[in-house]
Amino acid sequence: MKENLSQKFNENWQKNHAQFGQITWEQEADFCYFIESPLPLETAQALCDLAHKFKEDFALEGGSWLSPEEMHLTLTLPGRLGTHFQKNDLSFMKKTLDDITSQTPGFALELQNFNVFPTTLWAEVYDPTGRLQQLHETLCNEIPFSQHPEFRYTNYLPHISVAYGVQNPKPLGKEINRNFEPLTFSLESLTLGRAKWQGSELTKAKSAEYHLKKA
């Protein structure tokens, strides 16, 4: 499982490293619903420190850098109310999440290496037991709504975003050092909520929180 993810992460790096910071970031104005898990604060602070060192090392400019409290792992994006699902679907999603989390024990994950999308800097999340992928696919099967169906199932690339809209006057080289010592954390809860960008600020509202089954 780790080898498969490593290959997917490397393929993404090869595809996106030269474009990182070269494309204008376009914020979406409408609220988007998400299902995510918060990153434990101690792990998030360590990742935040590593991200700012990466920023200094490669002279990255601008962007919206997430605080430790904002860092999270997205499991799936149901999308926009009225576009991807309807108001009465919210109660269905809440009930489904309650059912899934009550039967799913928490599990360990690992952070290692920075990676990029054209406008986003993020950390790779490794899933040594395969349970994250299994949970993601269960959510996709039971909650079919999706803003980005092209990024689900085998195309799911688990990550923790650390900065959006970064500007980089000089493209990142393919062979730069983007590694860091692994950070281990446990996924213990899921949150259903909605988010919206207002200027450079990301406003998030929590609809419900679910704790995974105690092992």
How does pLDDT run across 3-16, given as a tens digit for each residue? Answer: 789 999 999 999 99
Alpha carbons 198 and 205: distance in angstroms, whole number: 13
Largest pairwise CA distance in the chain:
49
How does pLDDT run across 21-69, given as a tens digit for each residue? Answer: 888 766 665 679 999 999 999 999 999 999 999 999 999 998 999 999 9
User: What percent of the chain lies above the pLDDT cut of 70?
Assistant: 95
| Enclosing domain of residue 47 | 2-211
Give the chain's domain count: 1
The CATH number linked to 197 is: 3.90.1140.10
- The pTM is what? 0.93
How does pLDDT run across 78-133, given as a tens digit for each residue? Answer: 999 888 999 999 999 999 999 999 999 999 999 999 999 999 999 999 999 999 99
Does residue 64 sit in helix, strand or coil?
strand
